Amino acid sequence: MERKKDTAIARFLKTVFFVEILQGMKLTLKTLFTKPVTRQYPKEKRPVMPGFRGLHALVRNPETKEAKCVGCGLCAAVCPSRCITIYTSEGEKHEKVVDRYEIEVLRCMYCALCVEACPFGAVVLTEHYEYAGYNKADFKMTKDKLLGNWDKYMTGDKGTEYFKRFWGPRADDFKTPENQAVFKGRTQSKVDLHNAE
């Protein structure tokens, strides 16, 4: 009974002297003079760390100015989201021509397996992350759009540096160990087999 009385008095005094309001004001004043942690995006942008996995790009061959992609399909095969589609046809010299290369970026989870799988360093993830659209078609990256992304976001030495620092292993990284048997050509191999018998 005595305890209940004490609690009622404490509550009454708290109300009379605005204790809770003053506590709230104290916190407001304290926050007012501390550095805000909220960024005023999009005016204030967070710097992108090198190696960030953003929007895709198809690498443009600096000599031919065409896409480096040869349409081997490894990137599409390895993609866990199944969001890469490649349409190829046969060229005049029986070479494979990449007619269409499409990525549905809304399905992509930016794992970068496509980049790692590509034996030609032909696809990359850029540092660009600000893309929005009004319909689904805006998020279907066509070959032209992907080449445009390379021109926009990986200009100069940026693309080269990206591959050097982040996207390995590349073909250049592999060295044949000494004394390892290597394939020397079909004819040679046949002769060796015959002699062995």
Interaction site with ligand SF4 (CB under 6 A): 69-75, 79-81, 83-84, 86, 103, 108-114, 117-118, 120, 122-123
In the complex, what is the shortest distance from the CB of residue 90 to ligand SF4, in angstroms, rounded to a whole number?
16
In the complex, what is the shortest distance from the CB of residue 183 to ligand SF4, in angstroms, rounded to a whole number?
22
Q: Between residues 14 and 78, which has the closer beta carbon with respect to ligand SF4?
A: 78
Q: Between residues 73 and 148, which has the closer beta carbon with respect to ligand SF4?
A: 73
HEC profile of 127-193: CCCCCCCCCHHHHEECHHHHHHHHHHHCCCCHHHHHHHHCCCCCHHHCCCCCCCCCCCCHHHHHHHH
In the complex, what is the shortest distance from the CB of residue 148 to ligand SF4, in angstroms, rounded to a whole number?
16
Q: Per the structure block, which two tokens stand in for 115?
A: 């980049």
**Burial of residue 53, with CB atoms counted within 10 A of its CB: 0-12 exposed, 13-18 middle, 19 or more buried:** middle
In the complex, what is the shortest distance from the CB of residue 93 to ligand SF4, in angstroms, rounded to a whole number?
18
Provide the Cα torsion 90, 94, 98, 99; round to 10°: -40
Q: Per the structure block, which two tokens stand in for 113?
A: 């397996």
Q: Between residues 14 and 73, which has the closer beta carbon with respect to ligand SF4?
A: 73
Q: Between residues 12 and 87, which has the closer beta carbon with respect to ligand SF4?
A: 87
